[in-house]
Amino acid sequence: MAVLEVKELTKIYGRGESVVVALDHVSFSVERGEFVAMIGASGSGKSTLMNMIGGLDHPTSGEVIIDGKGITSMSEDELAIFRRRNLGMIYQFYNLIPTLTAEENIVLPWRLDGRRLNKNRVKELLAVLGLKERADHLPGQMSGGQQQRVSIGRALINEPAFILADEPTGNLDSKTSGEIIDLLRYTNKRFNQTVLLITHDEKIALSADRIITIGDGKILRDEVMKK
Amino acid sequence: MKLTAELALDQVKRNKKRTLGTVMATAMATALLTAVMCFVTSGYTMLENFLGPGLGEYSGVYMMILLIPALFLGMLIICMSVTVISNIYESSAGKRLGEFGVLKCVGATRKQIRETVIYESLWISLSAIPLGLLSGTLIGFLGVLTAGHYVSYFNDLSKSIIMRPFAFSLDFHVSVITYIAAAIFSLAVVLISAGKPARKSGKITAIQCIKATRNDSSHAVKVKDNRIIENLLGYEGNLACKNIERNRKEYRSSVRALALSITLVLLAGSFEKQAHGAIEWMTGMGNEMLVDYTSARNETINEKTQKPQVEIVNPISYETAEEITARLRAYKPEFAVLGVGSDRETFKTIPDKEGMTEEFLAIKGMINEYGEIKSELVTVDSENYRLLCEKAGVPVGSNILINSYAYNDNGEMKSVNPSNGNLSEITLVDSADGIRIIPIQGFLTAEDLTSNAFGGIAQTPIRVIVAAGDARYFTWHSDPDDDADYEKYARGIMDEYYPVLTEDSYAEQGFSVRISRADQMIKVMNIAIILGEILLTGLIILLVVMGFAGAISTLSANLKMRRKEFAVLKSVGMTRASLEKMILSESILCSVRASITGFLAGTLLPWLINHFVRRVFPVKYELPVMSLFAGIFIVFLIMFLVTKAEIRKLRGQNIIEDIRMELI
């Protein structure tokens, strides 16, 4: 069963002569447990696509269905609740809350949902992320790699339908980038977590099960990697 | 022009809204300082006109009286101004992070970065300080005009209650020095205010600037989830609590400005309560018409005993007092006059442990360094003396001890009985150690002496009503229907016995005669209080407005800087309602913190001041509950309204654009 279905998604910015088609009737689907990489040059439309899938932006037309629910018609608050329950988002610049510790950042979506703290789950996650010793540290006291691990933890805490990672290694050195991708790969295998990774780095994309290439707002290629 | 100065000027021109805010705040600080300076200059001129050039012999004391309040007010203004203006420059520096990054990358030094912030403050001062000097002159003029009006009224009233005439005249005066001093102080305020953000900006590294990441001031303080806050404000309240605890620096100036505002409101409330307490106490002294004779006195040291000696220059004899009493009674048929004289200068009493109560003798300061108690021989007109003798159950010609002593015990009026009833005589001693033993044949208590003539603000511990004797003071109490007519009548009689021939009869003729209602004193006191209240309230309002402006600007800047943080929270699933609840919770928690600090400071400061007040007046410190509630309510209301307005601005927030803002 498809976790994510994107149907004829179109996003047009501007009007008249200055019209820009960022996404042009894009359609694809992602199955549960898949590790999909989306690559494309700068300005190809991949971030726009991510924002549509993440419910951060509304498409001009088309539909995004996550776990069988169409999100395009949802209100802002419905989307926020949907995001914290069904999506895990990872950004290039980590986007952690500077006044919350690593552990507090990780449990943020959980607490926002009014759920009780499952300490065992948090402990397990911190161990998987290699952040046991850093649980009480603020983002400002951690390296970029560690911050990105916290960001991954925050994305994983609610066991979402899938993780959306937008250039998660864009701000990291190659060694740390490798570690982060390995971590995503590991969570994909261990928790059967669906991952949609957006990158412009082909080498990183090669670690995925499937690569979707996007250019000029259209899907140029969609290939399953043989491992 | 230096590049850094040029960049600063460009900044000033481009950010018109912020520039306007900074100009207003700086001008307001300058205006307040100028107004205080105007008061000092006008006050000095008033004293110089009265005391002569250089303020005469006690110039140091007068200068202290003038400069200490000015210094206190000046410090208050400077503190508030630095808090407010510093916030504005800090937020300005925060917004220029990208510019600093470019400058650092192309080789700007730490000093040059600092300079751009300092130059910004100097450009702003160029217009703000002259504007402040002008508006400060206007505020000062209006203030001095108001005060001058009350001083004139004070002069008129004081003529009837003060023995030596004087005429103060408070006119508006400024000098070049007033402006130079105000400008220097204001510039210092601006430089101190801009200095801290300037140093902070200089310390930011090039990489921080390029990445546009702020110098993260968050501290990994252990903040446990607070159940009370969670129950009251939900998880959002706990998030707000953590934000505040771990990011204290960002909130400190807002909290400080709000706390200072509450402190000032409480200070004004306490001042008003204590002043009115003093007036109320004095109002209890009655409001009879008083015709009063007071002899001048000479203070010397007795050569033989080295004790202080007081010579009554023109004592009023009992016979003269009796004659005047009779003539005053003749004003109208059945017109009641009570004449009471007093000599508290000549004798002291030797304590008598057998006849005096322990409680009385134990009062702090009761027995002086020579082992004596202050004493007063009271004479009463013969008709009333006879009635008192009857009341005391003793024959006319007896000495009657007033067996009640009311005193101010550290802010509380207490009353004790000097005698335990066994006192049959008292030993009076004069400054030459001359002894005079007088028998005590009867006692009267405060309940027996209902007339205000036996009350008094500062009572003498031992008071003995004697049959006759010379007095330094003699006061005739009455209650005529037509004050002006009686005043004229009484003046005519007194002029026959004690004609007032000079402006300063007390000094030049050795006595003074005053005719007025007893409440004139309260009116003078009232004027001083009203004047103090007007000036203090005016200043406090301006300072509180400034404090609120500072808190609003910081809060607003803080929320603007955190747009990305809010966008991230939304992206991980925080609803708009939750976000608004978190921001409101921060405001509530800041207000609570400011209220607690303001309450403590606003209670402690007037409580300490009251320690000095209650030495003079029986007025204890009382918490001005209304002011407290008003101050806290205003703080909460303003914080709520500002936060709501800022939240409204956030409603149009574009999560994607804000997340791309690389400020977190």
Complete domains list, chain A, with CATH: 33-47+74-224 (3.40.50.300)
Tokens for A66? 């996550």
Do residues A64 and A72 lie in contact, with contact meaning Cβ atoms separated by under 8 Å? yes
Nearest to A99 among B218, B564, B574 (CB): B218
- Average pLDDT of chain A is 88
Given a cut of 50, is residue A163 above it in pLDDT?
yes
Q: Does B227 touch chain A (CB under 8 A)?
A: no
Question: What span, in angstroms and rounded, lies between the C-alpha atoms of B385 and B338?
Answer: 10
Q: Which of B222, B564, B574 sits opposite A80 (nearest CB)?
A: B574
Asked if the C-beta of B174 comes within 8 angstroms of chain A's C-beta atoms, the answer is no
Q: Do B572 and A76 touch (CB under 8 A)?
A: no
Structure tokens at B199: 């140093």
Nearest to A98 by CA among B577, B252, B242: B242
- For position B664, what pLDDT does the model report? 38
Answer yes or no: do B664 and A56 touch at CB < 8 A.
no
CA B132 to chain centre: 25
CB–CB contact B659 A91 (8 Å) = yes
Low-confidence ranges of chain B (pLDDT < 70): 50-59, 61-62, 65-66, 95, 97-99, 101-102, 105-106, 157-168, 205-221, 284-285, 456-458, 521-522, 524-529, 531, 653, 659-664
> What tokens were used for A41?
């040059």
pLDDT at A30 over 80: yes
* Interchain contact, A114 vs B235, CB within 8 Å: yes
Q: Chain A contacts of B577, Cβ < 8 Å?
A: 77
CB B635 within 8 A of CB B254: no
B582 touches chain A (CB under 8 A): no
pLDDT at B159: 65
Put simply, whether A110 touches B (Cβ < 8 Å) is no
As a whole number, mean pLDDT of residues A91-119 equals 85
Q: CB neighbours of B10 closer than 8 A, spacing ≥ 6?
A: none
CA distance B304 to A103: 88
| Mutation to test the B interface, candidates A47, A51, A97, most B Cβ within 10 Å | A97
CA distance B548 to B84: 9
3 state DSSP class of B336: coil
Chain B residues lying within 8 Å of A81, measured CB to CB: 573, 575
Q: Is B382 part of the contact surface with chain A (CB cutoff 8 Å)?
A: no
Q: What is the DSSP string of B528-569?
A: HHHHHHHHHHHHHHHHHHHHHHHHHHHHHHHHHHTHHHHHHH
Tell me how far apart the alpha carbons of residues B69 and B348 are, in angstroms, rounded to a whole number: 39
pLDDT of residue A23: 92
Spacing of C-alpha B392 from chain mean position: 46
Q: Does residue A201 come out as left (phi exceeding 0), alpha (psi in the -120 to 50 range) or beta?
A: beta
pLDDT at residue A29, rounded to an integer: 93
What DSSP string describes B566-630? Answer: HHHHHHTT--HHHHHHHHHHHHHHHHHHHHHHHHHHHHHHHHHHHHHHHHHS-------HHHHHH
Nearest CA to B339 out of B296, B385, B295, B377 is that of B385
Q: How far apart are CA B478 and CA B311, in angstroms?
A: 29
Partner-chain contact B576 A96, CB within 8 Å = no
Q: Give kind and range of the element (H or E) at residue A66.
A: strand A61-66
Q: Spell out the residues 6+ positions from residue A156 whose beta carbon is closer than 8 angstroms to its own.
A: A88, A125, A163, A187, A191, A193
B572 reaches A (C-beta below 8 A): yes
Chain A residue closest in CA terms to B569 = A97
pLDDT at residue A100 in the model: 86
- Name residue, tokens 């986007």: A95
Interchain CB contact of A133 with B (< 8 Å): no
Q: Which two tokens stand for residue B409?
A: 């015990």
Cβ–Cβ contact B576 with A under 8 A: yes
pLDDT digits (tens, 9 = 90+) for B598-611: 999 999 988 988 88
Chain B residues near residue A89 by CB distance under 8 angstroms: 571-572
* Distance (Å, whole) CA B193 – CA B362: 55
The residue of chain A with its CA nearest to that of B572 is A84
Specify the higher pLDDT residue, B54 or A95. A95
B580: left (phi over 0), alpha (psi -120 to 50) or beta: alpha
Helix/strand/coil for B188: helix
Q: Write down the pLDDT at residue B663.
A: 40
pLDDT of amino acid A73 = 86
pLDDT score of A193 more than 80:
yes
Q: How many residues does chain A have?
A: 227
A contacts of B663 (beta carbons < 8 Å): none
Best residue in B215, B238, B568 for a mutation probing chain A (most A CBs within 10 Å): B568
Instruction: Answer whether B247 sits within 8 Å of A99, measured CB to CB.
Output: yes
Report domain extents, chain B. 1-214, 216-284+519-664, 289-518
CA separation for the pair B89, A174 (Å, rounded): 40
What pLDDT score does A227 carry?
60
Under 8 Å between Cβ of B292 and B161: no
Residue of A83, A104, A140 with shortest CB distance to B216 = A140
At B629, the amino acid letter reads: F
- Backbone φ and ψ for B198, nearest 5 degrees, come out as -65, -45
Say if CB A154 and CB A121 are below 8 A apart. no
pLDDT in tens, B191-224: 888 888 888 777 776 666 555 455 455 566 677 7
Q: How crowded is residue B162: how many other Cβ atoms within 10 Å of its Cβ? A: 16
Phi, psi of B127, rounded to the nearest 5 degrees: -100, -35
> What is the rounded distance in angstroms from the CA atom of residue A190 to the CA atom of residue A186?
6
The whole-number pLDDT of residue B219 equals 60
Q: With b meaning 16 or more CB within 10 Å and e meaning fewer, what string describes B490-506? A: beebbeeebebeeeebb
Rg value, chain B, Cα: 34
B569 and A CB contact within 8 Å:
yes
Pseudo-torsion of CA B259, B263, B269, B275, nearest 10°?
180
Task: Find which of B571, B576, B586, B657 to mutate to test the A interface (most A CBs within 10 Å of its CB).
Answer: B571
SS3 B652: coil
Are B220 and A138 an interchain contact pair (Cβ–Cβ within 8 Å)? yes
- Cα separations in angstroms, B321 against B257, B493, B512: 63, 12, 15
